[in-house]
Amino acid sequence: MILFTYLIADNKYPIVLVHGFMGWGSDEMAGYKYWGGKNDFEGYLRNKGFEVYTASVGPVSSNWDRAVELFYQIKGGQVDYGLGHAEQYGLDQKPPEKIFTGLYPQWDHDHPVHIIGHSMGGQTARMLQYLLENVIYQDEDESIPEKSLLMGYIHAGWIHSITSISTPHNGSTLSDIITKGIPILQDFIGVAAVVGNNFYDFDLQQWGFEKKEGETWAAYFRRMREHKAWGTKNMSAWDLSLEGARELNTITPANSSIYYFSYSTSNTHLDSASGFYAPNETMSLILRANARIMGRNKAYWTDGSATDSTWFENDGIVNTISQFGPTSGLNGADPIAEYRKDELLIPGQWYHIKTINMDHKAPIGHGLYDENDVQEMLKLFDDHCNLLWSLPEKE
């Protein structure tokens, strides 16, 4: 049990929650929270004394676009995806609909933040790290820097820690199914039937894609799936793949001034008769077919190398082995260690805290029908936020 409390915290930096693929903001889904479901994890943590904010970035967008949106959502201002990036993919560089007042406008080196990302949100946090640490150029020969607040300057020390929950750091062997939204579509259509069609937004204004007046949500979803963006690398499909994750891991190694933590999830077991992994009875019915596919099938990188049986264990969406931390970068793996509460923590390496025996959505409160499970997850978040606030302040 972690004994630190916010009253004796070594830092009180704000904590920003970043949702994953197909996630949503606090004012969407008719009050059904991404972080908590029928419960409100953000509200719970605020009542515990923590300064917590919930971000809402593009649910199917690339990690680049999501990270840019996350920056301006925290800091405030007009979203600017970068001239070079916009020209490469045919985007609106500065969509007028995406201007934010800022969740934490004083954010800078002296006022850093902790970021907790679920699923793809953990990748997005690391892409934001990359954009903060590097000057981004408009042109291939790197002679003209971008002119935005984010990309035109180096912002060292703005992130104090990154925590990932169920994140596909090295991709998912189910990425093709994930990016088509199949596992979650049934959930959303059910909610749409109850609350109407204006409960969700794909936030793809940079692609010129918006919901039409009178368009049903199901038709909106189908039209989004047919969008030309899916054929590019500037969409979640690429980032969640083995190759896309390898690219992110190559450009964004662990930073020696940032603390890193990971939680993994597993809700499958080894079937001794077949040698494959099968879903547990507690796994969501919607995810079980995915779990069986992942529990027996290999996937390949473009160089011909393949995953092996260590990738079979999964949570219905992401392979458990992919959740510990980034290991597939071309420059080598990030250092990863098992967390021990009495050990001195050092920045620049990942601490894997635990593997949670739940499916992919359960740690953030979805599909938890037992009150004991709900309380277990609330305590996990409370303990982890205490851990984050126990970290030394920036020098």
DSSP secondary structure letter of residue 300: B
pLDDT at 6: 39
Which domains, ranges and CATH numbers included, belong to the chain? 6-390 (3.40.50.1820)
To the nearest whole number, what is the mean pLDDT of the chain? 91
- E-strand stretches of the chain: 15-18, 52-54, 77-78, 99-100, 113-118, 159-165, 259-265, 268-270, 277-279, 336-338, 350-356
Q: For the whole model, what pTM was predicted?
A: 0.94
pLDDT at 275: 94
pLDDT at 194: 47
Q: Please answer whether residues 119 and 319 qualify as being in contact, where contact means their C-beta atoms are separated by less than 8 angstroms.
A: no
**pLDDT (tens digit per residue) in 187-204:** 555 555 444 555 678 899
pLDDT at 181 over 90: no
pLDDT at 228: 87
Structure tokens, 134: 């590097």
pLDDT at 184: 47
The model's confidence at residue 381, banded by pLDDT at 50, 70 and 90, is very high
Q: Please answer whether residues 286 and 367 qualify as being in contact, where contact means their C-beta atoms are separated by less than 8 angstroms.
A: no
Q: Please answer whether residues 217 and 199 qualify as being in contact, where contact means their C-beta atoms are separated by less than 8 angstroms.
A: yes
Mean pLDDT, residues 139-150:
93
Q: What does 35-101 look like in DSSP terms, one character per residue?
A: TTBTS-HHHHHHHTT--EEE----SSB-HHHHHHHHHHHHH-EE----HHHHHHHT--SS-TT-EE-
Task: For residue 334, give every residue at least 6 positions away whose Cβ sits within 8 Å of its Cβ, in sequence order, or none.
Answer: 249, 253, 254, 260, 325, 326, 327, 349, 350
Structure tokens, 68: 């840019």
**pLDDT (tens digit per residue) in 319-378:** 999 999 999 999 999 999 999 988 999 999 999 999 999 999 999 999 998 999 999 999
| Least trusted range by pLDDT, from 97-106, 178-187, 329-338 | 178-187
pLDDT at 238: 93
Mean pLDDT, residues 260-268:
98
* Helix-then-strand count for the chain, H and E: 11, 11
Higher confidence at residue 128 or residue 343? 128
**pLDDT (tens digit per residue) in 23-60:** 998 888 878 899 999 999 999 999 999 999 999 999 98
The model's confidence at residue 180, banded by pLDDT at 50, 70 and 90, is low
pLDDT at 182 over 50: no
pLDDT at 230: 86
The model's confidence at residue 213, banded by pLDDT at 50, 70 and 90, is confident
pLDDT at 85 over 80: yes
pLDDT at 3: 38
pLDDT at 5 over 50: no
Q: How much of the chain, in percent, has pLDDT values that exceed 70?
A: 92
Mean pLDDT, residues 381-394:
96
The model's confidence at residue 178, banded by pLDDT at 50, 70 and 90, is low
pLDDT at 183 over 70: no
pLDDT at 370: 92
**pLDDT (tens digit per residue) in 225-259:** 788 888 899 999 899 999 999 999 999 999 999 99
Active site residues: 119, 315, 360
Amino acid at 177: I
pLDDT at 215: 85
Mean pLDDT, residues 294-309:
94
